[in-house]
Amino acid sequence: MKILFDKKTIQDKVSILANQISKDYLLNKHAMFIIVLKGSIHFASDLLRFIPTINIPVEFIRVKSYEGTSQSQFLSVTSFLKESDIKGKDVLIIEDIIDSGKTLERIIFYVNSLEAKSINICTLLNKPSCRKVEVLNDKYVGFNIEDQFVVGYGLDFKEKYRNLSNIMILEESDL
């Protein structure tokens, strides 16, 4: 595997994103962060540690959209969110990677159905060349990357490689 982003580069970018979010949400008493599991767990944990000055509730949603290195046609969403958690809130969805945008489109639809006041997106990785649907409100983007399958820092291939501290390009020979 080849390193795409090393640990220091990732941490520097997470710090920059956290600073932007801190400024934008500092006085917002009606905000909520929703972390998309499982892939976002490392990114979200570091991001939240870099935002010690604001106190915003955090919830989780789990979406499964990949089978191996291919996106599945079927999305599985597991959530324990309730309308009372979301209604009238300014929601920031924390995602590891935006690829086709279909997963995020489904999450946004779901969160909107719970009557969020607004929705913004924070993603560490973005693949604009792979977009199949328009993703709105991707206000906080760490890195734009090419169409390559990446693992590490929470991102996986068949539940492996999440533990790597670097983001690596998974090549055919690594499968």
Q: Known catalytic residues? A: 99
Structure tokens at 36: 């998309």
Distance (Å, whole) CA 13 – CA 10: 5
Classified as helix, coil or strand, 39 is: coil
How does DSSP classify residue 56? Answer: -
Task: Rounding to the nearest 10 degrees, give the CA dihedral for residues 96, 97, 102, 104.
Answer: 40
Parallel, antiparallel, or unpaired: how do β-strands 2-5 and 58-67 relate?
Answer: unpaired
Distance (Å, whole) CA 73 – CA 156: 18
